[in-house]
Amino acid sequence: MQELTHWINGAHVTGTSGRFADVFNPATGEVQARVPLASKQEIDHAVAEAARAQPAWGATNPQRRARVMMEFVRLLNRDMDKLAQTLSREHGKTLPDARGDIQRGLEVIEYCIGAPQMLKGEFTDSAGPGIDMYSMRQPLGVAAGITPFNFPAMIPMWKMGPALACGNAFILKPSERDPSVPLMLAELMQEAGLPDGVLQVVNGDKDAVDAILDNPAIAAIGFVGSTPIAEYIYGRGCSNGKRVQCFGGAKNHMIIMPDADLDLAADALVGAGYGAAGERCMAISVAVPVGEATADALIERLIPRIEKLKVGPYTAGNDVDYGPVVTAAAKANILRLVESGVAQGAKLVVDGRGFKLQGYEDGFFVGPHLFDRVTRDMDIYRKEIFGPVLSTVRARTYEEALAHAMDHEYGNGTAIFTRDGDTARDFAHRVNIGMIGINVPIPVPLAYHTFGGWKKSAFGDLNQHGPDSFRFYTRTKTITSRWPSGIKEGASLNFRPMD
């Protein structure tokens, strides 16, 4: 069995805590590796080494840092297939989906190549007699990222790319469920020219998270995961004086208006609801058709599409639509929520509870489920399921449909399908959610825009990637400069305008 490591000072380092977590192959249910769980002492050591390496990296000019990012992009493309195979083997998602995971992370690294432009300050000539004012953006020092299992390549790159491009050292604590790809990314960063110690990858559980939150040398922390953990990390990190951004759970609604192209909407719902077995924070988990006729016609189109979905291991290649969920516990939680939906009166139109895959009976596969006539008081509506389960909540009017999305505690993403521009524009302006799709089911912005939800889906003032990421990983210093050139004014005790 493979025993994984940490990545400290540019080398693989064996864990010393004596504690390990199992890494499963979700398709077979077998343990394929063990990952060490770092102690506080190991975290503190990694942070201390990062703090020693950071000043020289921070003093490296932005153009040279950008060249490291450019080379990393080349190496990432070179090793795309190897990375995707490893990612699929530990996570369970299909190979095309794994490549998409890597690609969306790579796009943020490409954006970071523009660091010299993003880090430019502002300058005002002659703000007063002989006085110039200018600002500069400087790195924070050491930053950290705590990233989830569902995007083991993309989200680590969303975090470490901007942090490193800004001149910080970075501590990455990836999910212990699929840690191999983050370690491979660190190897590629070293090959790209990143100095040893600037990027550390330390595996662990809550002990490691708490050590990161409490270490005084860490200036900023980014997190993606569930809302309860996001609230915990945000509160503890802020109380320790750190800059913190946390992104939590989601319950993303898609409103289908009577004038929508229902075939387009049905295809979008299947892709957005069941891709990656529903283990996406931007997955559509609630369909809200407006009007009984719209709902009936939509359900009629959804059923055959969902029943044709092919569920299997990533090794089946393009013959599989989605794979297993990540752990046996995740599978049990999904099926428990499905049972609650049945018990609370929802109509289970497509029932995947009895799904079994021949030859993979011990794998963590969950069949696709479709509920109709779900109400807002049901657990399957209120809670994030994170599985291949789509709930249909019927609305009588557009205003009622809009209220469903606006009243839910989560506000990550939402979408509307319609041919009417006035309705779409009204929806985009009024809905209190961070990312909006108009005839787009999963509105994840490209790297040069910013990603972030509202309400209980996000905590902190700045979002991920785009310009916000450079603001988050730097602090602004403003300089007022005067060269008197022989001007003699004498002392003044008054606070007065410069001009």
* DSSP per-residue letters across 365-399: ----EEEES--TTSHHHHS---SSEEEE--BSSHH
Q: Give me the count of residues in the chain.
A: 499
Q: What pLDDT does residue 314 have?
A: 93
Rounded mean pLDDT of 328-357? Answer: 97
Choosing from 112, 166, 246, 281, which is the catalytic residue? 281
Q: Distances in Å between the alpha carbon of 447 and those of 65, 354, 461? A: 18, 40, 18
pLDDT of residue 443 exceeding 80, the answer is yes
pLDDT of residue 495 exceeding 80, the answer is no
Half-sphere exposure (Cβ direction) of 144: Cα atoms closer than 13 Å: 32
Confidence of residue 317 (pLDDT cuts 50, 70, 90): confident
**What does pTM read for this prediction?**
0.95
Q: In angstroms, rounded to a whole number, what is the distance separating the alpha carbons of residues 374 and 174?
A: 35
pLDDT tens digit string along 247-278?
A: 999 999 999 999 999 999 999 999 999 999 99
Q: In angstroms, rounded to a whole number, what is the distance separating the alpha carbons of residues 367 and 389?
A: 9
> Greater confidence, 4 or 317?
4
Q: How far is CA 39 from the centre of its chain?
A: 25
Confidence of residue 486 (pLDDT cuts 50, 70, 90): low
pLDDT of residue 84 exceeding 90, the answer is yes
Rounded mean pLDDT of 182-187? Answer: 98
Neighbours of 228 (CB within 10 A): 11
Q: What pLDDT does residue 499 have?
A: 58
pLDDT of residue 130 exceeding 90, the answer is no
Q: ∠ CA 471-243-281 to the nearest 5 degrees?
A: 80
3-state secondary structure of 349: strand
Confidence of residue 489 (pLDDT cuts 50, 70, 90): low
> Quick check: is 238 catalytic?
no
Phi, psi for 160 (deg, rounded to 5): -75, -30
Q: What pLDDT does residue 202 have?
A: 98
Do residues 6 and 18 touch, judged by C-beta distance below 8 A? no
Rounded mean pLDDT of 334-343? Answer: 98
pLDDT tens digit string along 412-430?
A: 999 999 999 999 999 999 9
Q: Distances in Å between the alpha carbon of 141 and those of 59, 167, 416, 474? A: 11, 8, 42, 9
pLDDT of residue 488 exceeding 80, the answer is no
Question: Which token pair is 360?
Answer: 């993979």
Do residues 208 and 16 touch, judged by C-beta distance below 8 A? no
Q: Which of 232-241, 259-268, 315-324, 386-395 has the lowest mean pLDDT?
A: 315-324
Rounded mean pLDDT of 178-203? Answer: 98
Confidence of residue 498 (pLDDT cuts 50, 70, 90): low
> Greater confidence, 76 or 1?
76
Q: What pLDDT does residue 475 have?
A: 96
- Listing DSSP states for 154-177 in one string gives HHHHHHHHHHHHTT-EEEEE--TT
Neighbours of 185 (CB within 10 A): 29
Type of residue at 372: D
Q: First CA to last CA across the chain, in angstroms?
A: 72
Percentage of the chain with pLDDT > 90?
94
Q: What pLDDT does residue 496 have?
A: 65
Q: Distances in Å between the alpha carbon of 234 and those of 43, 168, 410? A: 19, 20, 17
Q: ∠ CA 248-250-254 to the nearest 5 degrees?
A: 155
Q: In angstroms, rounded to a whole number, what is the distance separating the alpha carbons of residues 41 and 155?
A: 26
Q: Which of 369-378, 417-426, 485-494 has the lowest mean pLDDT?
A: 485-494
**Helix or strand holding residue 403 (H, E):** helix 398-407
Q: Which of 103-107, 125-129, 184-188, 359-363 has the lowest mean pLDDT?
A: 125-129
Type of residue at 65: R
Q: What pLDDT does residue 127 have?
A: 87
Confidence of residue 487 (pLDDT cuts 50, 70, 90): low
For 257-278, the three-class secondary structure string (H helix, E strand, C coil) is: CCCCCHHHHHHHHHHHHHHHHH
pLDDT tens digit string along 25-57?
A: 999 999 999 999 999 999 999 999 999 999 999
pLDDT tens digit string along 356-368?
A: 999 999 999 999 9
Q: What pLDDT does residue 484 have?
A: 73
The rounded mean pLDDT for the chain is 96
Determine the number of helices (DSSP H) and then strands (DSSP E) in the chain: 16, 23
